[in-house]
Structure 1
């Protein structure tokens, strides 16, 4: 007679071989229970009897604190003939049916990766599914390359495959934008930050959290000491990134306004560790997980865009124009950029054109050396505003360790113009600042400067007014 314990041991052996038990702080493997309140609540009426009055649990529940919006469920059956029913409607008797039954009880809070296993080490069957958060319809789990997953793989690979699903991407982007709105309100109402300070607080904190020491120890610092630790961690990460032409002082100076902000370093009754601590904690829990998944998602730009919506609509009051992601991606497609191109933006802003180009260029690379060459040598930008320059350079650091050649100053400056031309970029992209007064430079001057900065035969793409 088949023994389900043998199947569970088969799964357990696979998990051990793939290092699921190597670091309990990074991966949590639970068996037929969970200490996570939202999972316990979701499964509190998930008994496979169908009556919905008692709890039910799969054989394994796997989570990771670094990716809190995903959970892996594993359901086992002893015999392969009980792997899957014809209509997946018999959760008590079949492995696939059972794991999908449990998944539907958790998708209000999680994207669920469901794994059904049946059989013995000699003869077994595995099935992998993903049910995106907010839905009840499972999909076959496939790798980012499009190949179906048919055997157990590491947790990061499972998460990457689930994140590849278009519905999961859409939901995660929605969650991120929703959180950006909540963060704006917190910064406005509690921290009393000005509009220009909010994106710097976000970008600076995300950079600081890239320092493992800061990420692990910031919560132990008193409210009055944390801002200094915060700015030192930013300098440490930026210095380590070794952006080719960026000066550490130029990069970090805009963040010093956050460092000395009086409201952020005061302990209060509601926030005894200070408001900066709360900002760091929120971003560590809500945003940092996205940085490991959305390698082509302009996180800082998305936050910045959300914050600007509250300044009067389009950000013009701040003298800033942000290019939407769909436009930056369109420019990269129009130029058909590849690993052999060099891309220039002389009004780089938060780096949207450069990031979209980098993503598409990397897709054409075949070696790590080519990828490194793209990041180090084939992305050139100029930005005059110190704050926007800091945000753009920060964005390159956060988005895939980009090391663009970012110059801080006017694109019309003789020295900067000469330095830019030495790169011999063959693709130029620009969304120029629009003239608001007669004294302002006309936007076509920027387009002309961009074209003059390209190598002979180069391609320039610009957003220009139609009159």
Structure 2
């Protein structure tokens, strides 16, 4: 084993740091800022021990407008500069959500520096921090090769180190006008690059799924709880465990600590009742309508109160409910706290759904639409702050969450100078402009929870049958919902592969747009009569063929975009786009933590499709008319010609004729030269 040369690396680095020209620098045993000292002391060391830890060197840099601490860590062995995950992100936490002190933070220079930078951001008001990793190794001649990598972390996402650059020395940190100007501009620029954030979201998806699968398996093996009850137990426990904080971070409803569950048999004081009391406070503080609060509590009560899970046997130290709650509190809540994922419980829904055959739909008939697809479809339907969006087969609520995020973002921009109107508009979006219908009670509960956790747009989530009894009204009054955007991934076992949902919804929507992702056999013969009826009052704008491995069932799907309220005419153009190569690489390994990889600018592919369909200037050239997209027409009386089919013109051209003659003459000449043509 080659000995570490960390001492030599430290001497080399310290010498350069002292010559950078910054007045406020500190080695490991010195103080650079009492606030940093205090927050590092209050957190575990990079080995995970008590008493905190200190970086090898700290430098405070400033350009006059902004001051940033830089934390520097040294290593002196081959391969010890940084540890990245499969998304090329710096590893701070392991798959369980706990900090990876043993194999990442303490072992690699960048990871250790990032850990200190993260803690400093969480405990001070610095807007950003730099994490600088330095490693050195000797080559066969005895010369030392030094490598430096720098990452920036910020208050918005302190656990996401964003790559700044690779360097051979510390000159990039010099206190000179030129270097400072370039460095601070680059710090600002890299944080605007969406690629790092997208990779983080993909990793968080995988991490949540891994933890949920482990939790689900454990509940199944140890408690033998049926899948539908499992979903309710996890959903109710999450409400009790996440609590409610205001915008300043102060607790309005504190989290229920597992230690509060004592296994009491006293009426009103059992573990299940304690959880429901906390759920009641959670729902009330989230300002849900009183009838919805009662509906949710009535639905959860049998699982938490009138259940054997609320009782411990003679040989048990705690109730099964506490065992499950402890698992959720210890494993899920840390993930919830740090991921910031837009569809957290959507992942829960997808994992739980793998265990259950959904009634009235068949196995796996209800599936989670990937977040990037729900966002893409909301953009296709031109969602904005004034949209009224509904989904008639809600599932976990992913479409409404994507729409809500776009709408709120639009309101932030349009009312940036009037915070009162901005607040009023956002409240109206959450309470009046979103509506979802879900038939299955356990999925309905999960959708409500999902909307609450991700922004509280849950007021109009309706537990009803879209096809037989729902009348297109708000949840708690008789007024019709004025929808102008329809988003849907229907259960494919329904009539016409689910196109019946589109027909029913469009009959109650008078204008706007609708986007549906569906098995594309719906557009080639499985829903012929329904499709013909739809086109009498609605125009097909685009047909997008999606990757065949988009859903784990490996079913070919397409997205159909409609303009509602305008009959489709025979000469209306339709965009037919082949998006099967979308920039993502997908694998289907059951034990893999991540099965989605952005290998070819996926974001750019989806953006270009939007630009084509919405008639905007393209910024990339992944799609060429006549190659992987074209404009064409459909027969409104056909109902089975809606899908992308690459058209190949077989009519010979003059160039084809010339090439054929040329090829023949070339062959004749070759035969003559070989002496094989007896005619000459």
1:360 aligns with 2:388: no
Distance 1:340 1:223, change over 3 A: same
Distance 1:371 1:7, change over 3 A: farther
**Larger Rg: 1 or 2?**
2
1:128 is matched with which residue: 127, 130, 145?
130
Using the TM superposition, give the Cα deviation of residue 176 of structure 1 relative to its aligned residue in structure 2, in angstroms.
1.5
Which has the bigger relative contact order, CA under 8 A and spacing at least 6?
A: 1
- When the two chains are superposed, the root-mean-square deviation of aligned CA atoms in Å is 4.4
- Deviations along 1:193-236, one digit per CA (max 9) or x if unpaired, are 11112222211111112336662444232235211111222222
1:141 aligns with 2:153: yes
1:329 aligns with 2:391: no
Q: Distance in 1 between matches of 2:355 and 2:230?
A: 11
2:451 is matched with which residue: 390, 396, 399?
396
- Deviations along 1:59-96, one digit per CA (max 9) or x if unpaired, are 2xxxxxxxxxxxxx68336999xxxxxxxxxxxxx963
- Deviations along 1:88-125, one digit per CA (max 9) or x if unpaired, are xxxxxx96353998986948456734549xxxxxxxxx
Q: Distance in 1 between matches of 2:431 and 2:461?
A: 11
- Deviations along 1:5-30, one digit per CA (max 9) or x if unpaired, are 89954421x449xxxx6xxxxxx631
1:235 aligns with 2:280: yes
Verify the 8 A CA contact 1:58 1:74 in the aligned structure 2: no
Verify the 8 A CA contact 2:201 2:341 in the aligned structure 1: no
Structure richer in helix, relative to its length: 1
Q: Which residue number corresponds to residue 75 of structure 1?
A: 57
2:493 is matched with which residue: 422, 426, 435?
435
2:207 is matched with which residue: 162, 175, 186?
175
Unpaired runs of 5+ residues, structure 2, are 1-17, 63-69, 84-99, 106-110, 119-127, 134-147, 165-182, 185-192, 244-250, 265-269, 413-421, 526-680
Q: Which residue number corresponds to residue 512 of structure 2?
A: 458
Verify the 8 A CA contact 1:407 1:416 in the aligned structure 2: no
Q: Which residue number corresponds to residue 406 of structure 1?
A: 461
Q: Distance in 1 between matches of 2:71 and 2:472?
A: 65
Q: Distance in 2 between matches of 1:301 and 1:4?
A: 46
Q: Which residue number corresponds to residue 11 of structure 1?
A: 33
1:29 aligns with 2:40: yes
Using the TM superposition, give the Cα deviation of residue 282 of structure 1 relative to its aligned residue in structure 2, in angstroms.
2.3
TM-score (norm 1): 0.68
Q: How many pairs align?
A: 385
Q: Distance in 2 between matches of 1:79 and 1:250?
A: 56
Verify the 8 A CA contact 2:388 2:433 in the aligned structure 1: yes
Using the TM superposition, give the Cα deviation of residue 179 of structure 1 relative to its aligned residue in structure 2, in angstroms.
0.7
Using the TM superposition, give the Cα deviation of residue 245 of structure 1 relative to its aligned residue in structure 2, in angstroms.
8.2
Verify the 8 A CA contact 1:268 1:274 in the aligned structure 2: no
Alignment of 1:421-432 (within 5 A): 422-432=480-490
Structure richer in strand, relative to its length: 2
Secondary structure of the 1:198 match is: helix
Verify the 8 A CA contact 1:199 1:300 in the aligned structure 2: no
Q: Which residue number corresponds to residue 39 of structure 1?
A: 48
Distance 1:214 1:244, change over 3 A: closer
Q: Which residue number corresponds to residue 191 of structure 1?
A: 223
Q: Which residue number corresponds to residue 297 of structure 1?
A: 342
Q: Which residue number corresponds to residue 86 of structure 1?
A: none
Verify the 8 A CA contact 1:375 1:402 in the aligned structure 2: yes
Q: Which residue number corresponds to residue 343 of structure 1?
A: 389
Using the TM superposition, give the Cα deviation of residue 414 of structure 1 relative to its aligned residue in structure 2, in angstroms.
5.8
1:96 is matched with which residue: 51, 65, 72?
72
Q: Distance in 2 between matches of 1:372 and 1:202?
A: 28
Which deviates further from its counterpart, 294-303 or 412-421?
412-421
Q: Distance in 2 between matches of 1:369 and 1:413?
A: 35
